[in-house]
Structure 1
Amino acid sequence: MEEAQKATSLSTRLFYWWADRPILQLLVLVLATSLSLIGFIQPSLITNLFSSSEIQQQQKSVASEPGALLESDQPPPDVTPFRVGGGDVTIVVTSHDFFTQESLTAIRTAVDALQDLPQVRSILWIESIPGLNLFGLPESPLPRSDASERQMELGRERTLGNPLAVGQLISSDGKTLLLHLNLDWFFVTSDTACTSDLSETAAAAASTVPGSDLKFQVTGQAPLNLLMRQNHVRDAWRYQLIGYCIMIVSALVLFRGFSAVVIVAVAPALGVFWTMSFLRFFDLEQNPFSDVIVPILVSLVGLTDAVHMMVEIRSQRASGHDVREATRRGVAKVGMACVLTSLTTAIGFASLIWAHHQIVREFGLCCVMGVFCTLVSVLTVLPLGCRSPLGRRLHVGLGKSLVDRQLNRIGPVVAWVLKNDRKVAWIAIGSTAVLVAICSQLTPDEKRFGLLGDSGEAAQGLRHLDDAMGGLEFAYVNITWKRSVEDSQLLKILEDVNDVLAAEPLIGHPLGVRELLAALPGEGEPAERMTLLELLPAELKRAFYTPENRSATVQFRVKDIGIAKYGPVFERIEKSLRELSDKYPDFTLELSGGAIWRWHNIYRIVTDLATSLGTASIIIWLVLTIVYGSIRIGLISIIPNVFPLVATGAMLVIAGQHLEIVTVCVFTICIGIAVDDTIHFLTRFAGERGADVDDRQAIQRAFTGVGSALLMTTIVLVAGMLTAVTADARDARLFGTMGALTLSTALFADIIFLPALLSRFARSKSWGCDT
């Protein structure tokens, strides 16, 4: 108890107390593991205890919501408007030329075969288009399958001149055709029933026609969501397995001792197990990042603390202390640093909870839970493991690892930095300022299906639609007007809207009342042309025009190429619509649709990034200032923690990348992870500083004490991040690349910049005297 009596720090005494309580550690371990097993097997045993009151509260809120059960004052007419898109599944059919006898026969044969499937309720394709004539007579834009060559060309002109067909259900070059399927989900008994079964059935039917070259790809809402879910499940198991393997292999290479490897690997692995189980109690396991990214991050964060603690315990063991005393000293010496690193990391994650994007909020909450789970696992598994029979050989392999052998080569680098501390310190400050200026050029972006890979059939079909049809998704210009507006004015403004949309090359095939009237025969003034609209079938007219509500709609296609490219387009369109509203004061025009919503709300992500990073940085600075009792040291810690973030951001700018949800997550996460090594360095620096030791000697001793752990943790973290680079999804690859780059530059900043800044600016012997 001699060391405990000398300890004056409350935190040190607390960790000594904890290290001497193996029974309490075992109880915590058993309780957390038991709850985790319940979470994986039947989480309802816990959640049902709290669900009844929540359900009652939700029922009360719904009942008290104004107008929640009221119907619209003006119910829509009893007509189902015709839609040229939608459906549960979209089959993309390609051919060298659809206007041949073989292709027309094959596509009609394929449609009949699909319609015979029990899971297919209805099919919308070109032959579903209502007759676009003044008499309401049914007609098919496509020619008959046995049409002559001249009739085939006339049919081509008729089809590609029909606004409901060209750009909507068939490409303008006549080589891509769409089939929109509505499914009867009662008969969808497997995943393949709404994906490969459909394309294979259509292909088999088309192959019965000699000379047919039709190819079928399945895409649309259901296949795309299914592909995302399949990728999610596949990547979840894949990355967890890779993460566990990296922990074991890295620990084996770094420690060169079986006992240390087992103890260090078990601690973060158990933290991952607890985390993934506890997420089920809060219904957070379905978050796109929960099963893929969270396990890797949680395991690596836990491994960081486990490595630092194990390095200290092994050092104490090698110096001659028995297992019990080495464990006590190691936990007491590193425990507070582990708590601080977990706290600051949790702050970085928690800043995401206030984001506007639900996925980002849930991801932040998952990571906060994971950080605390791994902290508890490290503080229980390591002391228990070291006190077990495995702890007798902890010192085996000490000093023989690859990192230990290379550490002596980095020592002269630190000595050179201290010798040139003035130049290096100002280079650190100046380069960080320059990189901050470059990062300010980052622009926001988001893709609707950014989590999809490039190998899935649904994703390939989506990309083909972007090229051939202008995209799968629709956006809209909504037009409303006052009672006094005449029909002729409506057609004039519709023509102006069409001109605005036609001027944008990324806008695909606008469709509305104006296009329908333009396709009808005859000419005349706008007022006369509007009278022709009454002669069209009701389901066709009301698709874009509802006179009783004084509203009209113009729809257009949008590609899934990112909001960054569409941002300037939407800005120009909105500006033109405002000008039209000024020109026609009785009209109101606005953009709507999923792409428009993402465009407006993507800038919230920028605000979320600035707020989360700013809040996290301020809180981390306050935590370090309070813990170390020095405003100066708190300010010094800013540079090595901000530099890796802005360095990565500058690389994004140089590479032509944008600020996306995945990059927001990386930035916010890395500020929490990057500060960990800084805290361990500062903690050791504070311990080495004394009356008979100057700052430079304290810095060199601190590096000698924690340098091995810094290198170890960075190697493991970078290796873990790089596992995501092998993913099929672009977002996962971007996450891994950015994470590895950020953590590598964080190590550079801790080895080069931090010693120089401490040597140059941390002059006072007592940190508390400058507060």
Structure 2
Amino acid sequence: MTGTKQTTGFGARLFFWWADHPGAQIAVFVVMSTLATIGFTNPALITDLIPETVEQADDSGTSNRSDRRNMDYPGGGRVPDNVQPFQVGGGQCVLVARVDPSGEADLFTGSHLRAMRQVAEGLQSMPQIDNVMWLDSVPGFNLFGLSGTLLPSDNASKRQLNEARDRVLENPLAVGQLISQDGRTVLMHLGIDWFFVTSDAAVTSEIRERAQSIAAKIPGVALEFQLTGPVPLHLMMANNHVTDSTKYQLIGYSIMLLSAVILFRGFSAVMIVAVAPAVGVLWTTGMLHFLDLQDNPFNDIIVPVLVSLVGLTDSVHLMVEIRQQRASGLAVNEAARRGISRVGMACLLTSTTTAIGFLSLLWAHHEIVRDFGLCCVVGVAMTFVSVLTVIPLGCRSPLGRRLHVGLGKSLVDGQLRRIGPLVDWVLRRDRAVARIAIAVTFALAIISLQLQPDEKRYSGLSESGEAAQALRHLDRSLGGLEFSTVDVHWFHDSDESELLDVLGEIDALLASEPLIGNPLGVGQLLAALPGDGDAKERMTLLELLPPSLKRAFYVPERRFASVQFRVQDLGIAAYSEPFQRIERGLNSIADRHPDFGLALEGNAVWRWRNIYQIVTDLATSLGTASVVIWLVLTIVYRSIRIGLISIIPNLFPLAATATMLVFSGQHLEMVTVCVFTICVGIAVDDTIHFLTRYQEEMKLGGQHQEVIRRAFTGVGSALLMTTIVLVAGLGSAIVGDSRDARLFGIMGCLTLATALFADVLLLPAMLSRFARSKDKVG
């Protein structure tokens, strides 16, 4: 019988000692639980005892972000203080009015104009609304500065309404900026007075409901309102974050618990296995408060799920071994003692290699990624301690007396008997299977290198949410919500006609790109003015426009001009080639006009230029982690050969998941970066448990393939159980409304499934083929 021959190495003695001292286990449990409770309630009790250090906040980074936000709208911080440039965007909230969505009417009817004006007046009267900017706010677009509004009176005749439609839809400050080309989508940009904001509803639902109630009182009006913009989108992401955190954790944990009950067929074993990672999650979330990392956007969902994955994997392996020892006739305390000594070192090794994968993220340039890596390291450490504390204590409790109940009757035991012949088939054809495994793994790895970086600013939104739906509608109807600019500087007092030539070439360049929405600058203003003449004559007309309008795009004393355009939330990958073409075009224009400097600016442009840094972080982190993990396995197993063999089953799941992303048209985003990092830890865990049992069986001697079969029999049940339970838990995210959550669930399930495939079929073939030098040890 395997398992009867005790090992006497340092690791085994250490874990024997731990199993024999329940007092130490209770002390650790009490101390860690107390610290976690303090972290949840009042972390200052601990943090105040630590000497203060120099503030690490990057003020310059905040300033840079502020500068980039100002780049969203041309002229930010570049005009004299006594002139406020007119902006066709910039509202903290954006009310999107859709006119007669199911019909053919547009804004240019008396009832709709009356309704929109009353809505604007009603919103302006709300205490939390500081200002309302819409079509009626556009300054007089004439050469004489005459007062008047762009829109006609509510009582205008049909002819006047039609003329107004043509006038508005030819005005560059209106069409594509505040109203869609078909006249059926109208924007109101709302400035917020935060002194009167007492709840989230004050800047979301209260505004929309006020607009709806006003419009509903006017006969013949068919208007639908949605609220989007920076504030509603931010609040929606925050609310989704909290809601998804609770929902997905409850669903995931429930599914994992139900799966464990079905698989173990024993209530006692399930309770002990479930409590261990749950305690690890509580300890982790409590400890993060001491590090002030609880607000990292990944901590409420990904870190708890990850900690559960790691903890459940080790708990199942440990419990399967203890149950087998218990079923062999040993008393529960001795069974737990033997099980901990036999599996404890493998659990320590899996936690170490998983932590290495996350430690590599600490060298990332992206702050969120660095914090996420640190949180995961804390979580892995807490989970390892919780598993080795809770499970032996649970075995000593009354639950431990019935641990062996259900052993041999679970669904996994039946499936294991079916997989056994498949493993035998693999061992008989080890050369072919090993060669195919190596070839396929490296082929998938090469395909995965085609992954391109991407980032969608609002990819984490629930697509059923109001702010997200309005954002997608703006992408289609007006070319997007976000602005970027082409900034123009000249170094000497240049001829204004040359400036107009430069701006004309920029306009032509932007107009050639389908994804660039509605460019607006000096060129568009001049083109809309009446009259003819050469460039210099037309530039003089600009002086007749209101200062707020002229200085929105032209500041001659600063030698500055700009052209703004809209950007859709399609992801940076979609804009990579257009931005590259625009930059090449701008460089060409600058070469033809050496006195001018041209720059592509804006948040979207900044993300495009810096998103590749995330790819560098990922490649560096994963590469470093893989090398270090290989070195750790080589040292622990004292065999370069075993270390090399472990590469294929660990690389295969990552390469397979990345290939799936390539073939499905996905890109490398923040969520996929985090999932890949998780994959490193998950993929290596089962491999370590298999290799640890393999080396133990080698010490017992026998034919090499028989040793592999015994190793598979020893850990096969745990491998199948952990995979089924974890896939069931992660699968809960697939039905989520958030794209990021769905992608996280799909990638996690695929990685776990392919990791099982690699460890059950590929690893035995690799061991059989390349570890034959140890054919008859013992």
TM bin (shorter chain) = over 0.9
The answer to whether the 8 Å contact 2:701/2:707 transfers is: no
Q: Counterpart of 2:176 in 1: which secondary structure?
A: coil
The answer to whether the 8 Å contact 1:4/1:16 transfers is: no
Which deviations, in whole Å up to 9, do the C-alpha atoms of 1:484-534 show, x marking residues without a partner? 422111111000000000011111110111111112221222122222222
1:25 is aligned to 2:29: no
Q: CA deviation at 1:117?
A: 1.0
Q: Counterpart in 2 of 1:757?
A: 766
Q: CA deviation at 1:355?
A: 2.1
Which deviations, in whole Å up to 9, do the C-alpha atoms of 1:710-752 show, x marking residues without a partner? 0001111111211111211001101100110111011001111
Looking at structure 2, the residues matched to 767 and 42 of structure 1 have their Cα atoms a distance apart, in angstroms, of 60
1:89 is aligned to 2:117: no
Q: Counterpart in 2 of 1:37?
A: 37
1:652 to 640, 645, 661: 661
Which runs of structure 2 are paired with 1:177-188 in the superposition (5 Å)?
A: 177-188=186-197
1:265 is aligned to 2:265: no
Which runs of structure 2 are paired with 1:88-127 in the superposition (5 Å)?
A: 88-95=92-99, 96-127=105-136
Distance verdict in 2 for CA 1:373–1:483, change over 3 Å: same
Q: CA deviation at 1:59?
A: 11
Q: CA deviation at 1:561?
A: 0.9
Q: Counterpart in 2 of 1:675?
A: 684
Looking at structure 1, the residues matched to 175 and 51 of structure 2 have their Cα atoms a distance apart, in angstroms, of 52
Q: Which amino acid aligns with 2:606?
A: W
Q: Counterpart in 2 of 1:174?
A: 183
Distance verdict in 2 for CA 1:334–1:392, change over 3 Å: same
The answer to whether the 8 Å contact 2:252/2:730 transfers is: no
Distance verdict in 2 for CA 1:427–1:5, change over 3 Å: closer
Q: CA deviation at 1:358?
A: 2.5
Q: CA deviation at 1:60?
A: 12
Which deviations, in whole Å up to 9, do the C-alpha atoms of 1:556-585 show, x marking residues without a partner? 000001111111111110110010111111
Which deviations, in whole Å up to 9, do the C-alpha atoms of 1:372-401 show, x marking residues without a partner? 111000010011111122211111111111
Looking at structure 1, the residues matched to 50 and 159 of structure 2 have their Cα atoms a distance apart, in angstroms, of 73
Q: Counterpart in 2 of 1:204?
A: 213
Looking at structure 1, the residues matched to 570 and 472 of structure 2 have their Cα atoms a distance apart, in angstroms, of 9
Q: CA deviation at 1:695?
A: 1.6
Higher relative contact order (CA 8 A, sep 6+): 2
Which runs of structure 2 are paired with 1:270-289 in the superposition (5 Å)?
A: 270-289=279-298
Looking at structure 1, the residues matched to 450 and 256 of structure 2 have their Cα atoms a distance apart, in angstroms, of 37
Hey, which bits of structure 1, 4+ residues long, moved more than 6 A?
Answer: 3-6, 57-62, 72-75
Looking at structure 1, the residues matched to 130 and 630 of structure 2 have their Cα atoms a distance apart, in angstroms, of 61
Runs (5+) with no aligned partner, structure 1: none
Distance verdict in 2 for CA 1:549–1:716, change over 3 Å: same
Q: Which amino acid aligns with 1:39?
A: G
Q: Counterpart in 1 of 2:73?
A: none
Deviates more, 1:389-398 or 1:555-564: 389-398
Looking at structure 1, the residues matched to 725 and 494 of structure 2 have their Cα atoms a distance apart, in angstroms, of 69
Which deviations, in whole Å up to 9, do the C-alpha atoms of 1:352-374 show, x marking residues without a partner? 22222222222222211111111
Distance verdict in 2 for CA 1:170–1:83, change over 3 Å: same
1:560 is aligned to 2:564: no
Q: CA deviation at 1:75?
A: 7.9
Q: CA deviation at 1:764?
A: 2.0
1:382 is aligned to 2:391: yes
Which deviations, in whole Å up to 9, do the C-alpha atoms of 1:259-278 show, x marking residues without a partner? 11111111000001111111
Which runs of structure 2 are paired with 1:537-556 in the superposition (5 Å)?
A: 537-556=546-565
Distance verdict in 2 for CA 1:158–1:367, change over 3 Å: same
Deviates more, 1:497-506 or 1:441-450: 441-450
1:473 is aligned to 2:477: no
Which deviations, in whole Å up to 9, do the C-alpha atoms of 1:603-639 show, x marking residues without a partner? 1122122112111111110010000111111111000
Q: Counterpart of 2:561 in 1: which secondary structure?
A: strand
The answer to whether the 8 Å contact 1:624/1:634 transfers is: yes
Q: Counterpart of 2:774 in 1: which secondary structure?
A: coil
Q: Counterpart in 2 of 1:12?
A: 12
Distance verdict in 2 for CA 1:60–1:261, change over 3 Å: closer
Q: Counterpart of 2:564 in 1: which secondary structure?
A: strand
Looking at structure 2, the residues matched to 645 and 60 of structure 1 have their Cα atoms a distance apart, in angstroms, of 38
Q: Counterpart in 2 of 1:229?
A: 238
Q: Which amino acid aligns with 2:712?
A: F
Which deviations, in whole Å up to 9, do the C-alpha atoms of 1:53-99 show, x marking residues without a partner? 445x779999xx9xx9xxx9998332111111011100000113001
1:146 to 155, 168, 172: 155
The answer to whether the 8 Å contact 1:342/1:375 transfers is: yes
The answer to whether the 8 Å contact 2:361/2:370 transfers is: yes
Q: Counterpart of 2:48 in 1: which secondary structure?
A: helix
1:593 is aligned to 2:602: yes
Give me the identity figure in percent: 62
Which runs of structure 2 are paired with 1:291-310 in the superposition (5 Å)?
A: 291-310=300-319
Q: Which amino acid aligns with 1:694?
A: Q
Q: Counterpart of 1:163 in 2: which secondary structure?
A: coil
Looking at structure 1, the residues matched to 323 and 262 of structure 2 have their Cα atoms a distance apart, in angstroms, of 16
Q: Counterpart of 1:585 in 2: which secondary structure?
A: coil
Runs (5+) with no aligned partner, structure 2: 68-75, 100-104
Distance verdict in 2 for CA 1:245–1:51, change over 3 Å: farther
Looking at structure 1, the residues matched to 338 and 390 of structure 2 have their Cα atoms a distance apart, in angstroms, of 16
Looking at structure 2, the residues matched to 211 and 61 of structure 1 have their Cα atoms a distance apart, in angstroms, of 54
Q: Counterpart of 1:392 in 2: which secondary structure?
A: helix
Distance verdict in 2 for CA 1:17–1:539, change over 3 Å: same
Deviates more, 1:528-537 or 1:745-754: 528-537
Root-mean-square deviation (Å): 2.2
Distance verdict in 2 for CA 1:258–1:690, change over 3 Å: same
Looking at structure 1, the residues matched to 52 and 116 of structure 2 have their Cα atoms a distance apart, in angstroms, of 54
Distance verdict in 2 for CA 1:749–1:60, change over 3 Å: closer
Q: Which amino acid aligns with 2:86?
A: F
Q: TM-score, normalised by structure 1?
A: 0.95
Q: CA deviation at 1:5?
A: 12
The answer to whether the 8 Å contact 1:630/1:767 transfers is: no
The answer to whether the 8 Å contact 2:78/2:555 transfers is: no
Looking at structure 2, the residues matched to 411 and 730 of structure 1 have their Cα atoms a distance apart, in angstroms, of 39
Q: CA deviation at 1:19?
A: 1.3
Q: Counterpart in 2 of 1:446?
A: 455
The answer to whether the 8 Å contact 2:701/2:776 transfers is: no
Q: Counterpart in 1 of 2:516?
A: 507
1:80 is aligned to 2:84: yes
Q: Counterpart in 2 of 1:737?
A: 746
The answer to whether the 8 Å contact 1:4/1:13 transfers is: no
2:755 to 746, 749, 754: 746
Q: Counterpart of 2:486 in 1: which secondary structure?
A: strand
1:372 is aligned to 2:381: yes
Q: TM-score, normalised by structure 2?
A: 0.95
1:459 is aligned to 2:463: no
Looking at structure 2, the residues matched to 453 and 149 of structure 1 have their Cα atoms a distance apart, in angstroms, of 42
Looking at structure 2, the residues matched to 17 and 764 of structure 1 have their Cα atoms a distance apart, in angstroms, of 35
Q: Which amino acid aligns with 2:395?
A: C
The answer to whether the 8 Å contact 1:141/1:162 transfers is: no
Which runs of structure 2 are paired with 1:684-763 in the superposition (5 Å)?
A: 684-690=693-699, 692-763=701-772
Looking at structure 2, the residues matched to 526 and 420 of structure 1 have their Cα atoms a distance apart, in angstroms, of 80
Q: Counterpart in 2 of 1:319?
A: 328
The answer to whether the 8 Å contact 1:127/1:142 transfers is: yes
The answer to whether the 8 Å contact 2:704/2:776 transfers is: no
Which deviations, in whole Å up to 9, do the C-alpha atoms of 1:129-173 show, x marking residues without a partner? 111222222221111111111111111111111111111111111
